[in-house]
Amino acid sequence: MSQTNSYLVLCIEERSDSDYDQIDARLFIAYDSEQETYVVYGKSYSLAVDCQPYFFRADRSCDMYKFVKFVLSKESHCSYTLYNYNNMPYDLEEVDYYFMEENMDIRYDIATYDRVMLRKRDFRKTLKMLKNVYNFY
């Protein structure tokens, strides 16, 4: 597969306060250059309920930050992983949360940061990078 098929996807996993290995929520965020919007595929994890995944768009990074801040606790520790998905379709609505989760693979891992706190300035800088670093494919 060609490297020009590379597509940046940020995975944010909110970790349990009592057990860092337990995931409370997982989000995949990408920038859709065709629609010029940010997209988020997400799912909450609960021991008591089988939560359903979701997909939303935001035109601006500040709106995506507001959504993520609402979904994830600002005080929780998270892990951030930047993935290089080389199998993304051009239309991001052709994939779903399960596709994103199934393709979490160390071979696609570019960088991982553990025990990260959600900070507006850093988050928006990361989203700007997702928007401005791309391939024409």
Following DSSP, what letter does each residue of 113-129 receive, concatenated? EEEE---HHHHHHHHHH
Q: What is the pLDDT of residue 57?
A: 97
Domain assignment of residue 137, yes or no: no
pLDDT along the chain (137 residues), means of 10: 75 89 93 94 86 96 95 87 89 92 93 92 94 80
Domain assignment of residue 64, yes or no: yes
Are residues 115 and 79 in contact, defined by beta-carbon separation less than 8 angstroms?
Answer: yes
Q: What is the pLDDT of residue 137?
A: 56
For the entire predicted model, the pTM comes to 0.91
Q: What is the pLDDT of residue 2?
A: 55
Q: What is the pLDDT of residue 89?
A: 84
Range 44-51, long-range pairs (CB < 8 A, 24+ positions)? 44/71
Q: What is the pLDDT of residue 90?
A: 81
Phi, psi of 121 (to 5 degrees): -60, -50
Q: What is the pLDDT of residue 24?
A: 92
Q: Quick count: other Cβ atoms within 10 Å of Cβ 131? A: 17
Q: What is the pLDDT of residue 25?
A: 94
SS3 30: strand
Distance CA 78, CA 35 (A): 28
Q: Which domain holds residue 25?
A: 3-132
Are residues 9 and 134 in contact, defined by beta-carbon separation less than 8 angstroms?
Answer: no
> How many separate domains does the chain show?
1
Domain assignment of residue 72, yes or no: yes
- Sign of the alpha-carbon dihedral angle for 97, 98, 100, 106: positive
SS3 50: coil
Q: What is the pLDDT of residue 3?
A: 60
